[in-house]
Amino acid sequence: MNLARVAVAMVLAMLASIAGAECTRPQASFDVPDGKTANAQQMAATQKQVVAFADAVSKYVSCLQGELGQKSIGKDDAAKADLTKSYAEAHNTAADEVTALANCFNEQLDTFKSSGGGTEMKPADCSKHFESAATRPTGTPSAEQLVIESSGHKFDVASGSWMYLLARDQESRPCGNGNSLQCLYRGVIVVNESDETLECKGQITYDGTDLTGKKQTQSQALVNARSTQIVAGSLAKDDVSASVFDAVCTARAKLPPLDTPANCKYEVVKPVVISEYYPPASREAGEEGPVTVEFTVAGKAANPTNVRAVASSLYPALDQAAVKAVSAMVMSSNCPKARYRLKLSFKLD
């Protein structure tokens, strides 16, 4: 029986239903089992229900897209804006439910796999997942989708320079927490014009609080050479301003070359599904990034040994997960006891 994590890919566009609409929102008619109490058959059945529910919500959103277009015909700009806002609220509610159920199931699947399950199924407590989904930065944009609000400073490194900026949404968006409030996403962007990989930390201090109630949001990220990336950001009501923003980046030291001969190669005999090693807490926190792992292959088909993370994602839980994932693989090599490196990327769905 193949039990895998549920990946839900939904575009959080401004689409949803209003009272009396023709499109009917699907209802989840199942509970996510507690992984310690459920058996394999019950987990597999729930997996199918989560996937089916996500598919039903996807069709619902497509229906709403057409409905919004029809109802907008002949309306002035103000009326169209009101329609879009109404549709956005209901869409976000449906999308939040799918996200919460999928994340809750994935967490309980990890629990089931580590505990072995049970014989008397009880429902899991998914409340934290619903709260997280309702307050997450809905549809976090890419750096290219934001407009520059303020410029920071520029710094030189060995092979070029980098600078940071404060950017925000071009227009207000629904806050995505079940009400009619409008929000702006703000992010600290690092523009890396060097050949270095930068380890960056960014922060934004608000004149009020962001949508999660924090006066300051801070995070960290790797910024690859010659690239642009958001290193910290959050959603706040559109009448809340950002008073302070900052970024600190250092060039990552390059790894020394391995002394493994060039003719030595390894082969993955039995791979693993990397997403199954994604820590639930890291998913909830929005942690992602690449991890480079170094390991020894005995020669014959076997699990790698002396596995360690040599280039961090900046998140210890992800580094540990990468080590576990590589340790679970089966590999062979034409050079007994040779050392190799492999980069694993943890990327949110």
Over the stretch 39-52, which tens digit does the pLDDT of each residue have?
Answer: 999 999 999 898 88
Tokens of 96: 């939040």
How far apart, in whole angstroms, are the C-alpha atoms of residue 344 and residue 318?
10
Cβ–Cβ under 8 Å, residues 313 and 321: no
Domain containing 312: what range? Answer: 266-346
Over the stretch 155-206, which tens digit does the pLDDT of each residue have?
Answer: 999 899 999 999 999 888 888 755 678 899 999 999 999 999 999 999 999 9
One domain, residues 128 and 157: no
| Domain presence at residue 174 | yes
pTM exceeds cut of 0.75: no
| Domain presence at residue 188 | yes
Total structural domains within the chain: 3
How far apart, in whole angstroms, are the C-alpha atoms of residue 163 and residue 44?
49
Listing DSSP states for 228-242 in one string gives EEEEEEEEEETTPPE
CA 264 to chain CA centroid, Å, is: 36
Over the stretch 62-101, which tens digit does the pLDDT of each residue have?
Answer: 777 667 667 767 777 666 666 666 766 666 677 778 888 8
Q: What is the CATH number of the domain that holds 177?
A: 2.60.40
Place of tokens 């599904």: 273
| Domain presence at residue 24 | no
One domain, residues 324 and 294: yes
One domain, residues 247 and 147: yes
| Domain presence at residue 60 | yes
| Domain presence at residue 334 | yes
One domain, residues 62 and 117: yes
Residue 146 CB partners (closer than 8 Å, separation 6+):
167, 168, 169, 170, 185, 187, 189, 230
Tell me what pLDDT residue 7 has: 52
Listing DSSP states for 85-119 in one string gives HHHHHHHHHHHHHHHHHHHHHHHHHHHHHHH---S
How far apart, in whole angstroms, are the C-alpha atoms of residue 110 and residue 103?
11
Over the stretch 286-337, which tens digit does the pLDDT of each residue have?
Answer: 888 899 999 999 999 999 999 999 999 999 999 999 999 999 999 999 999 9
The angle subtended at Cα 312 by Cα 311 and Cα 318, nearest 5°, is 135
Residue 229 bridge partners (DSSP): 190
Q: Is 342 helix (H, G, I), strand (E, B) or coil?
A: strand
One domain, residues 152 and 118: no
Residue 173's CB is within 10 A of a number of other CB atoms, namely 22
Residue 237 bridge partners (DSSP): 183
